[in-house]
Amino acid sequence: MTSRQPPVSGSSFRPARARAASVDGRADSGSAVREVLEWLSLVVPIVTIVTALLFWFGYTATDARFAYFGIDSSTLELTNIDYVLRSADGIFVPATVTLLIVLCASAVHALVGAAIQQRRGGTVLRKAATATLVLGLAGTAIGVFWMFEGRPDRVYYLLPPILLGGGVLVFAYSARVLSSLRVEPVDSGTIWQRVGMWAAAAIVLLMVFWTFSLYARALGTGRAVTYVDRLANRPSAIVYSSRSLDVGEPVDETVGDAESYYRYRYSGLRVVIKAGDKYVLLTEGWTRDSGRAILIDDTAEVRLEFEPPREPR
């Protein structure tokens, strides 16, 4: 005699299905978290490096600008944000030029790669690669020489890093093209070839950084020269102080009544900038030979009044 098994209802499977759905949900959640962490691991280092570079370029330009007036930028107590904001002026031009060079280099690489794969124009490519290899070697040698001997002229202050970095890049790329054009291409996976390529890439990056730094320093000095050339178009400053500042000539000092809180009055000054809690002032007709730069703390003991320039801008 056989007994029938009771039918199994669908409800008995619900706990198992619920557990499976819960496991799938946790797996999807864990996958999403891992994806977010992977994106953060890529973005955060890049943002950190970019911010550090912006800080350095801003610091370099600012330091050169105030050094032209004989002021150590550390006395201004600028913040890191100040330096990052001041870097924008010196980063647009070199960054744009670098991106354009990368774009052109990518187009040339695509054309060369297509020619190598299709095995056409090998003779022309071989001659061109040999010529560029020689040029790259020559540029590298000249860049190294100028790096130790100093730049030949201040107009060409960017040539040493550009020649050194560009020479290494062209030399390494030409050698790679010549290797690819051989009947039996050389294996590029050997340890020494990989070390050579990484060394070339490191030199190029260092030269790019050096070029950007030189440009930022030159830009800061250029901005200072522009300040001096247009000093007559800067606002005039009259400083009132509760005590003598002992500024001396060529600043005009007037002593008022003893009962006046701001007893001392100083004129003959031009405003350059307010940095932190300090005003940077230059004497009238400032030059590097005879002028003086004055730092005035923005405190309750000092009051400044500004007058618009008399000459049109």
CA nearest 63: which of 44, 40, 88, 87?
A: 87
Same domain assignment for residues 262 and 285: yes
Same domain assignment for residues 106 and 166: yes
Same domain assignment for residues 293 and 272: yes
Same domain assignment for residues 119 and 260: no
Looking at mean pLDDT, say which of 31-45, 52-66, 74-88, 108-122 comes out highest: 52-66
Same domain assignment for residues 106 and 181: yes
Same domain assignment for residues 183 and 266: no
Per the domain annotation, does 41 fall within a domain?
A: no
Per the domain annotation, does 265 fall within a domain?
A: yes
Full domain range(s) for residue 157: 80-229
Same domain assignment for residues 119 and 213: yes
> Mean pLDDT across the stretch 232-252?
82
138 phi and psi, to 5 degrees? -65, -45
Per the domain annotation, does 59 fall within a domain?
A: no
Q: What's the CATH code of the domain at 249?
A: 2.30.30
Taking only the tens place, the pLDDT of each residue in 190-240 is 777 778 788 888 888 888 888 888 888 888 888 888 888 888 888 888 888
Domain C-terminal end among 229, 261, 295? 229
The structural domain count of the chain equals 2
DSSP H or E segment with residue 278: strand 278-283
> Mean pLDDT across the stretch 279-301?
84
Question: Do residues 250 and 268 touch, judged by C-beta distance below 8 A?
Answer: yes
**Lowest-pLDDT range, 67-71, 250-254, 264-268, 278-282?**
250-254
Same domain assignment for residues 98 and 199: yes
Helices and strands in the chain, H and E counts? 6, 6
Domain C-terminal end among 229, 257, 285? 229
Per the domain annotation, does 243 fall within a domain?
A: yes
Average pLDDT of the chain? 76
Same domain assignment for residues 152 and 292: no
Same domain assignment for residues 223 and 180: yes
Cis peptide before 250 (omega within 30 of 0): yes
Same domain assignment for residues 204 and 133: yes
CA nearest 280: which of 88, 86, 75?
A: 75
Domain C-terminal end among 229, 255, 282? 229
pTM for the whole structure: 0.68
Same domain assignment for residues 137 and 268: no
> Mean pLDDT across the stretch 264-272?
85
Q: Measure the CA–CA gap between 67 and 61, rounded to whole angstroms.
A: 10
Taking only the tens place, the pLDDT of each residue in 123-169 is 777 777 778 777 777 777 777 776 666 554 454 677 778 888 888 88
Looking at mean pLDDT, say which of 6-15, 195-204, 210-219, 289-298 comes out highest: 210-219
* Pair of tokens at residue 278: 């300090």
Chain position carrying tokens 């496991």: 23
